[in-house]
Structure 1
Amino acid sequence: MEHDSITPLMQDRIRQTLTQIEKTQRIKILYACESGSRGWGFASRDSDYDVRFIYVHQLDWYLTLDRKRDVIERPIDDELDVAGWELSKALKLMRNSNPALIEWLHSPIVYQKDALFMQQCEQLASKFYSPLKARYHYLSIAKRNWREDFKEETIRLKKYFYILRAVLALRWIEHSKMMPPMAFSQLVQTTVTDHAVLAEIEQLLVMKQHADESRYGPHRPAIDRLITETIEKSEKLNLPEPYYRDSHLLDDFLQKTILANDIKWE
């Protein structure tokens, strides 16, 4: 998927890096996306690129007694950070409704994907999704970061958006019970109706896009009220647990995916 916020040159570099990882690690990358501020849609001019991927090994890798490392991490340089999870690790996280994994699956910036794999993966993720766990995840992010900064006269813009996105995700979960989208713009469009808040968010977006990652700014009264009120309300919210807990579907998906991608590297 092409994306206007990422230059063709950078997209080519990222895809070449993924291809090189496949060859050197003897793996198959099934899905690769952008996470972090670029995936969320509020990158600064010096934001790095956080590429995340899901992969499988050859069949032989799975047929040994000893457990092996199930993560690949490649901090290429200050601009590009690449990391991936092996499929069985990703599916264990899916079984637990891990919000970080689900965000990856809904990233608006996709560098590489197996279409059939992604279709099945998204269907499984929806079965195991837990609004309760998602609420706990985003509420923890919002409370922890807000507690550190709400009394200060200024706040780092990056952290302000980090808190605000978590708060809007909580509002999304309250109203729809579904997993929040990754794109910040979609969260704003769906969960914010107050014109004062919308105006302050727009001002902050413009400021952040033209600033570097270390930029601080003043608190915005309407946004601060929204954050405080949403945190207080979310702490009292009762949400359902996922109705599906059978791991056999995930086992079957894992086995079929490994066999379908058993590439024999020379």
Structure 2
Amino acid sequence: MEEVILQKIKELEQSHQVKILYACESGSRAWGFPSPDSDFDIRFIYTRHKDTYLSITEQRDVIEPPVDEVLDVSGWDIRKGLQLFLKSNAPLYEWLQSPIVYQEETDFKQTLKGLMEKYFSPRSGCHHYLSMAYNTFTNELEGDVVKVKKYFYVLRPMLACQWILAGKGVPPMEFATLRTLITDEAIQKEIDHLLEVKVNADEQTTIAPVLALHQWIAGTLEQCKQLSAELPAVRNDTTELDVLFRKYIAYDF
């Protein structure tokens, strides 16, 4: 499958006349809990020729090919990526940590990764992850049966929020690291069971709600909500990222 993905990256570079500086896996395969039929969520940052950034004509800042059953591919222009990095965009900070990298040109990824702690906003990160967890818990884990995968779509962002509140900085992308925060052995066993089900079942597999897990999640989310409200905002200027922008658009491709 990697060969198919690399070929797709080349096709996008040629058809859009861009250079993809960094491409990675961003979904359940990178998080560490894919199902047998999970698609491939490929995200990337690209740059155009430097002259296009000096034109009075604005260029579209995203590339979004049609999604199919196997590949979900999309990317951001470097200017958009750096603007979002400045705002401590949580998905971008995850991409930079992905354990599955498809393409990496220059030191772009490593440079930004080295700046994450400096630009990371605990307040912004907490609000992002808490919103994700709350929305999924409220809308997807109600009823007599629930999709197994939705538990992980609550647990991962909720634990990321806890990671931030514990003062650990940028939360890791991988679920296995995040779950080290859980000290309740009974909850760990419930999660082990859900992981076993998920890795052997398709994306639509449902089970009866796990009451103990529901109660623990509800209590943890409420605690995170109260603590995150006390986090201060973080503001950075653009000077350092402007320098990086000029550096990487000068990249000759």
Instruction: Say yes or no: TM over 0.5.
Output: yes
Give the equivalent residue in structure 2 for 1:248: 239
1:202 match: 192
Paired AA for residue 61 in structure 1: T
**Does 1:217 pair with 2:225?**
no
Instruction: Quote the offset at 1:224 in angstroms.
Output: 1.7
1:71 and 1:86 in contact (8 A); partners too = yes
User: In the aligned structure 2, how far is the partner of 1:241 from the partner of 1:63?
Assistant: 33
Q: Tell me which amino acid in the other structure corresponds to 1:208.
A: K
TM-score (norm 2): 0.94
- String of CA shifts for 1:127-155, please: whole Å, max 9, x gaps: 21100001001111111121224442221
The residue aligned with 2:97 is 106
CA deviations 1:193-250 (Å, max 9, x no partner) are 21111111111011011111111112223322321111111111122333x5111111
2:72 & 2:225 partners in 1: Cα distance? Answer: 34
| Percent pairwise identity | 44
Match of 1:122 among 101, 113, 137: 113
Give the match for residue 74 of structure 2: 83
Partner of 1:239: 231
**Residue 54 of structure 1 corresponds to which residue in structure 2?**
45
Residue correspondences, number: 251
| Matched residue type, 1:114 | E
- Show CA shifts across 1:2-32 (max 9, x none): xxxxxxxx01111111112112211111110
Matching residue of 1:5: none
Distance 1:113 1:176 in 2: 30
Residues 15-58 of structure 1 show CA distances to partners (whole Å, capped at 9, x for unaligned) of 11111211221111111000111111111111110100001000
| 1:44-96 CA-partner distances (Å, limit 9, x unpaired) | 11111010000100012111112110101123531011111000000111111
Corresponding position: 1:262 with 2:223: no
Contact 1:42-1:205 within 8 A present in 2 as well = yes
Partner of 2:156: 165
CA distance in 2, matches of 1:224, 1:115: 45
SS at match of 1:182: coil
User: What's 2:146 paired with?
Assistant: 155
1:170/1:230 contact within 8 Å kept: no
User: Do 1:57 and 1:262's aligned partners in 2 also have CA atoms closer than 8 Å?
Assistant: no
| Alignment pair present for 1:45 and 2:36 | yes
Say if 2:33 and 2:195, in contact at 8 Å, map to a contact too. Answer: yes
1:214 partner letter: Q
Distance 2:207 2:15 in 1: 44
Written as runs of structure 1 = structure 2, the 5 A alignment for 1:14-25 is: 14-25=5-16
Partner amino acid, structure 1, of 2:201: A
* 3-state SS of 1:61 partner: helix
Q: Name the SS of the counterpart of 1:127 in structure 2.
A: helix
Aligned to 1:4: none
Say yes or no: does 1:29 pair with 2:17: no
Secondary structure in 1 matching 2:183? coil
- Matched letter for residue 228 of structure 1: A
Question: Which stretch of the first structure deviates more once superposed, 143-152 or 198-207?
Answer: 143-152
Aligned to 2:135: 144
**How far 1:116 sits from its partner (Å)?**
1.6
Give structure 1 regions of 4+ aligned residues with deviation exceeding 4 angstroms.
none
CA distance in 1, matches of 2:2, 2:181: 32
The residue type paired with residue 189 of structure 2 is A
Could you tell me how far apart the structure 2 residues matched to 1:174 and 1:198 are? 20
**8 Å Cα contact 2:13-2:20 kept in structure 1:** yes
| Unmatched runs of 5 consecutive residues or more in structure 1 | 1-9
Question: Are the counterparts in 1 of residues 141 and 151 from structure 2 also a CA contact under 8 Å?
Answer: no
CA distance in 2, matches of 1:221, 1:109: 34
In 2, distance between residues paired with 1:70 and 1:149? Answer: 32
Q: Give TM-score, length-normalised by structure 1.
A: 0.90
5+ residue gaps in structure 2?
none
